[in-house]
Structure 1
Amino acid sequence: MPKVKKPKGGGVGEKSSGSGSVALADQILQTDTIRARNRVKSRDQRPESDDTYVDERLSRKILQQARIQQEELQTEYGLVPERKKAAPVTVLGPGSGDADSDEEWPALGASVSAATEAECDAEVIVDPEDEKAIEMFMNKNPPMRRTLADIIMEKITEKQTEVGTVMSEVSGRPMPQLDPRIIEVYRGVGKVLSKYRSGKLPKAFKIIPALSNWEQVLYLTEPESWSAAAMYQATRIFSSNLKERMAQRFYNLVLLPRVRDDIAEYKRLNFHLYSALKKALFKPGAWFKGILIPLCESGTCTLREAIIIGSILTKCSIPVLHSSAAMLKLAEMEYNGANSIFLRLLLDKKYALPFRVLDALVAHFLSFRNEKRVLPVLWHQSLLTLAQRYKADLASEQKTALQELLKLQTHPHISAEIRRELQNSESRDIEVGLPVTVEMD
């Protein structure tokens, strides 16, 4: 009988204590058994002192580079590092300064808006002769300017009287007034807005555009006491959430009086108020009807106001239909000097204007044939702009009439240039001759 051979080596099925073999089922069970290990996750072994803060050496380098960039921007754009130094002066530019003396701009944030701040801190210098010439065309007896509170309260009183009368006739009792708790809340919102500089606005203020009596609630916040930064935030909210007609009322009753008061007091416009005027162009129709047209119709628009507000027209894109309607309105209203500035700026945008607007502009200039007063240089400049931009869109009769006008209203340097533009251009009523082709049978 042959001898049984022992397995070589210590295989999986070999016992450590003896030489006997292990069954296959036991081998499978031993192989698949999960052995417990005392493993500790790596995240639990992190030291408590490990954090994500930047070390002192790297922070010093970051601050040093930021300071160098700030100094370079100040040198490039003419910024002054100290608030006590005089602001740079520019001629006939959009001026807007910081009217709030207690407001400090962040040092490290200057690199983001350095160019904008340099432009807004510039003061506008107007030519005294042009200013006197424009004052000759201003309204000598302007209507008494009412305060914002008077205008809003008059509107609210009229609406309350009308609605209250109807409610009394229907229900036999007067219309209920605002809840005292609502009045107290919005009085507090007004105090917050009077000291607002940055950050979030109260939620009670953000819901005002959704209210049916938003004018009455807005009056409770005392808009005339808002800070310039609060006025900008309010303009963003109202221009986005109000309809065009309601936004027009906000621009006319709240934003425009504040802008005119700021220019009259500081001889320039606050940076936040200037930004508010630009943001208000989100609704161009409301902007023209609520700001530009009422400003010209008042008859008291100064040269400085026209230059500052007109600079917004050159920086923002405006649809041609809104600009055409505004030019048509400016051409038809009574001339007061500021019309020439706005017309020249709109003409420089090189729109494809309808013939109706061009005809109204030509009629506007031809109405000065019998003017005995000396016209300002701005009037001649706007006529030159019309001749340069739209000389090919004018009829031959209109060009002839304008050339006759130049004999009555002349300028030693500009009139000759206008005449040259009108003479060396084609007219819209002259058809280009084309060769005639005769077909042979």
Structure 2
Amino acid sequence: MTDAAPRLAAVAETLLGAPLPVRVRAWDGSEAGPPGGPVLVVRRRRALRRVLWKPGEMGLARAWVAGDLTVEGDLFALLDRVAGLLWERRPGPDGEPAPAAAATGPAASLALLRDPERRAALRELVTLAGPWPAPAPPPEEAARRGGSRHSKGRDRQAISHHYDVGNEFYERVLGPSMVYSCAYWRPDATLEDAQHDKLDLVCRKLALEPGLRLLDVGCGWGSMALHAAREYGVRVTGITLSREQAVYARKRVAEEGLADLVDIRIQDYRDVKDGPYDAISSIGMAEHVGAARYREYARTLYGLLRPGGRLLNHQIARPPEADESAYRVDEFIDAYVFPDGELSPLAGTVGELERAGFEVRDVEALREHYALTLRAWVARLELHREEAVRLTSPGRVRVWLLYMAACALGFEHNRLGVNQVLAVRSDGAGRSGLPLRLRTWGA
């Protein structure tokens, strides 16, 4: 019989309490659900076992990474249709979040077991899932970590997991700019244009000029350091924990003849001792610091600046929780993408910078810009998919496609934000050295 998809659709609608938003094709070739649009392909019954053993996003993500689930058609469109069933609802004015239709956890499990129709649906799902036991998580992409969270050694492991996967792979995703952070878009811009404009925006906010010293924290493949040295004549120290990034950045520095201006180091920000610097850029690095270490991060950067020096902190933010102690790191992102990465609300970031002694002078939100950037990266990865698989693995490519597409939707739906915070270390007399009309960096 070829009836797996209709049975699966009926189970899903009973458990979700909502109509199935996408068409499904099962391993037996059967289909069910609304016609038109993208199709969720359940290639193996093992996908259902993954969801049974790990309900919610993580089970689905493991099935995707293992290739048990695929999508025919527009990945963004499919994720957009199912997102409302997986995301928790944002808190309303009374502070009480409305539960999502596919809520998980002990309370949700008990609610399922109390409902006779849902108990029957779960039994049907177990039947469809086939022989047990639970499948092992896809091991090739899972991060292995040791040591205490956000210790120097563990941070090196986490950074290596994400960034040391091959520079050629990142070239396929990021393009010639090799910038792995939110671009700054204008109408009809290319990805290269937008990344150039972002780097230049940072330089203008930091008021860079020849002879100044810039510390680029989390310098990646050297793009900010190169731009600042080439276009503004500053002396740049770029630091990263990724050996592959450092090798790549040093090669670029040598090729551009900028070795007298740019020094690339494999170094933890906590070990930088050669201040003071006139300016510090931290672009897409603070997400790796961790809430417990953020005050140390802010104080360290404050101590590395001269009086009157500027910090440009470019960082992804999440909405605040009604109860901040309830915040949990996304399991999929933590296990497969950014180990130990943590997001903070904008207010928390600004507060820690101020506690460290900084005067925050400007905040610019770039949320929509990151959605455009991620869509551009997904398009590049799809275009170069065969090469990317050859350079890494099928699982790695599936991880990157899922996380970038899902994050793009997160920015579009205002579940994620990204902000550039300009802060200054005032001198002893309270003088910031900033002009009265600060926003002179253009549109």
TM over 0.5: no
Structure whose alpha-carbon radius of gyration is higher: 1
- Pick the structure with more strand per residue: 2
- Pick the structure with more helix per residue: 1
TM-score (norm 2): 0.24
TM-score (norm 1): 0.24
